[in-house]
Amino acid sequence: MPFSTALKLPKRPFCGSTAYTGAVAVTRFRAFAAFVLAAWLSPAWVVIPAAAAAAPSPPNIVLVYADDLGFGDVGMNGSATVRTPNIDALAADGLRFTNAHAPAATCTPSRYSLLTGEYAWRRTGTGVLPGDASLIIEPGRTTLPSLLRQAGYATGVVGKWHLGLGAGDVDWNRDIAPGPLDVGFDYAFILPATGDRVPCVYVEDRRVVGLDPADPIRVSYRERVGDEPTGKARPDLLKLHPSHGHDQTIVNGISRIGYMSGGAKARWVDEDIADTITAKAVSFIERHRARPFFLYFATHDIHVPRAPHPRFTGSSGMGPRGDAIVEFDWSVGEIVKALDRLGLASNTLLVVTSDNGPVVDDGYRDQAVERLGAHRPAGPYRGGKCSAFEGGTRVPFVLRWPVRVRRGVSGALVGQIDLASSLAALTGQPVPPGAAPDSQNVLPALLGQSREGREWIVEQAGPLSLIKGRWKYIEPRDGPRVSTSTNTELGNDPGPQLFDLKADPGERRNLAAAHPDRVAELAALLTRVRER
């Protein structure tokens, strides 16, 4: 495709360091001074509540990024089937968005776009990655965290990464670089890829946590390494069985995608992941309480394998998928409690959203289909994860910042891809030319000062879609209508599709034949965006 450029490999030296040097401190002081100046000059400050006007300090920013949580999976969006009191409380105290979009209907491209402000479909190699993939963000590039670091923030990522590590043939037994520390984060405690992909270990900064050098880790996505049993050969050893794929190395009684050997003491216990990473997130907040910080807390919940802690078993009445939602809500509640305890709640901008839409059976026999009952994971929307229909990318999005953000509900069109430019604007950081090219500053919408967000947005599944106002155009694409593995409607169609999202949010009536001019207009706009 002419708009795709091959991913350029790192040319610059790696920049990561967890220590704060004096030079960094001076830069941060200057950045803070610039922030204060920008804040006073900004007309937005004219309307802020008195408490904030008295103390114009940059807010802490916590972005909680769920995995595969659907629009309809949370009480705040109308779910009566699963209880999410902590998320719902944020909606009551903050601003809930009904027209907010993940950049893509799967994980890696959404996360790539979130962090770089660039549509992932502009680059090859940004699809769902295996666990041994190289880092797909060039070290030293301007990113959401690097912009905030430049503004004086301490920046940390805790949780799922799934953007690759290293520069080819990563050795899990040594320093792992490049990684998050080379693209804007000061601190990282991550699951390298996904819960269902090896290696099933945590990486803190550049090292596997708890690794015994006498038991080195080997990973392969091509062939079996070592002699550990696989789910395919030894289903009798499994506590959770695959429904499709996921039949390679068994870790903690669950077979995964990919093969690994070694690292026995370093392996995670799935039931403890939420506790472990939530504690790390809280500890990052505690360590940086005295300064502005940005925490990107990317939970494993509610991705497969769904193995929430036993204390959540039965909490939803819907089996492990519902219980994982309750566990996710618990994690959100722990963040809120920590902010309250440390006196940081009022000046912290807290966002909760999800990387893509929901999926019910995503490869393990975990009763998600059988026990779904009346629950509708995508709410009123059609499709789900991997789908070009709204279920794929219309996600829960709530933002709370008590001293600054108006309470309520917003229908403004906003994208996660806009966080880079919007948070740069908030913190007085210029975005260098060419950086975050697809990210728009929608700060007035995010703060509840404007009902208008973007004019249009592109969404990525198999085909690309473009939403402008009430209209949604899905470009023609051959391919299966329904995924044989997940049973999701994918939105592929050899002809153009046009939906009136206002009259038909469930995308049931394709109006392309009735409105050829509209189709031509939106197709031309999509072409222009592509060629930009």
Residues that bind ligand NG6 (CB under 6 A): 67-68, 106-107, 128, 162, 194, 196, 244-246, 257, 303-304, 356, 362-363, 485
How many beta carbons lie within 10 A of that of residue 367, not counting itself?
A: 15
* Cα angle: 470, vertex 475, 481; to 5 degrees: 105
Minimum gap (Å) between residue 196 Cβ and ligand NG6: 5
If the CB atoms of residues 362 and 438 are measured against ligand NG6, the closer one turns out to be 362
If the CB atoms of residues 107 and 326 are measured against Ca ion, the closer one turns out to be 107
485 binds, among ligand NG6, Ca ion, none (CB under 5 to 8 A by kind): ligand NG6
304 binds, among Ca ion, ligand NG6, none (CB under 5 to 8 A by kind): ligand NG6
Q: Which of residues 73-112 bind Ca ion (CB under 5 A)?
A: 107
If the CB atoms of residues 16 and 357 are measured against Ca ion, the closer one turns out to be 357
Minimum gap (Å) between residue 365 Cβ and ligand NG6: 13
If the CB atoms of residues 52 and 107 are measured against ligand NG6, the closer one turns out to be 107
How far apart CA 298 and CA 334 sit, in angstroms, is: 14
Minimum gap (Å) between residue 192 Cβ and Ca ion: 15
257 binds, among Ca ion, ligand NG6, none (CB under 5 to 8 A by kind): ligand NG6
Minimum gap (Å) between residue 245 Cβ and Ca ion: 15
Determine phi and psi for 460, rounding to 5 degrees. Answer: -115, 125
CB 48 within 8 A of CB 404: yes
472 binds, among Ca ion, ligand NG6, none (CB under 5 to 8 A by kind): none
How far apart CA 249 and CA 231 sit, in angstroms, is: 6
Q: Provide the pairing of β-strand 471-474 with 497-500.
A: antiparallel
If the CB atoms of residues 67 and 327 are measured against Ca ion, the closer one turns out to be 67
Minimum gap (Å) between residue 160 Cβ and ligand NG6: 8
356 part of the interface to Ca ion, by CB under 5 A: yes
Q: How many residues form the binding site for Ca ion (CB under 5 A)?
A: 5
Angle between helices 419-426 and 107-116 (to 10 degrees): 30
CB 70 within 8 A of CB 357: yes
If the CB atoms of residues 73 and 355 are measured against Ca ion, the closer one turns out to be 355
104 binds, among ligand NG6, Ca ion, none (CB under 5 to 8 A by kind): none
> Which residues are within 8 A (CB) of 290 and not within 5 positions of it... i.e. 6 or more apart?
none
* Cα angle: 362, vertex 62, 12; to 5 degrees: 85
302 part of the interface to Ca ion, by CB under 5 A: no
How far apart CA 320 and CA 315 sit, in angstroms, is: 9
196 part of the interface to Ca ion, by CB under 5 A: no
Minimum gap (Å) between residue 447 Cβ and ligand NG6: 30
Q: Provide the pairing of β-strand 60-66 with 250-251.
A: unpaired
Minimum gap (Å) between residue 120 Cβ and ligand NG6: 12
Q: How far is CA 87 from the centre of its chain?
A: 16
If the CB atoms of residues 329 and 362 are measured against ligand NG6, the closer one turns out to be 362
355 part of the interface to Ca ion, by CB under 5 A: yes
Q: Given CA atoms 503, 376, 332, 439 in this order, what sign does their dihedral have? A: negative
How far apart CA 352 and CA 365 sit, in angstroms, is: 28
Minimum gap (Å) between residue 395 Cβ and Ca ion: 10
If the CB atoms of residues 324 and 413 are measured against ligand NG6, the closer one turns out to be 324
Minimum gap (Å) between residue 492 Cβ and Ca ion: 20
If the CB atoms of residues 68 and 475 are measured against Ca ion, the closer one turns out to be 68
Of 427, 335, 285, the residue nearest 66 (C-alpha): 335
How far apart CA 52 and CA 45 sit, in angstroms, is: 9
If the CB atoms of residues 106 and 261 are measured against ligand NG6, the closer one turns out to be 106
128 binds, among Ca ion, ligand NG6, none (CB under 5 to 8 A by kind): ligand NG6
Minimum gap (Å) between residue 253 Cβ and ligand NG6: 17
CB 143 within 8 A of CB 115: yes
CB 147 within 8 A of CB 159: no
Q: Where are the beta strands (DSSP E) in 290-421?
A: 293-298, 348-354, 397-400, 408-410, 414-415
Q: Which of residues 21-80 bind Ca ion (CB under 5 A)?
A: 67-68
Structure tokens at 334: 């722990």
**Cα dihedral 467/471/477/483 (nearest 10):** 80
Q: Which residues bind Ca ion (CB under 5 A)?
A: 67-68, 107, 355-356
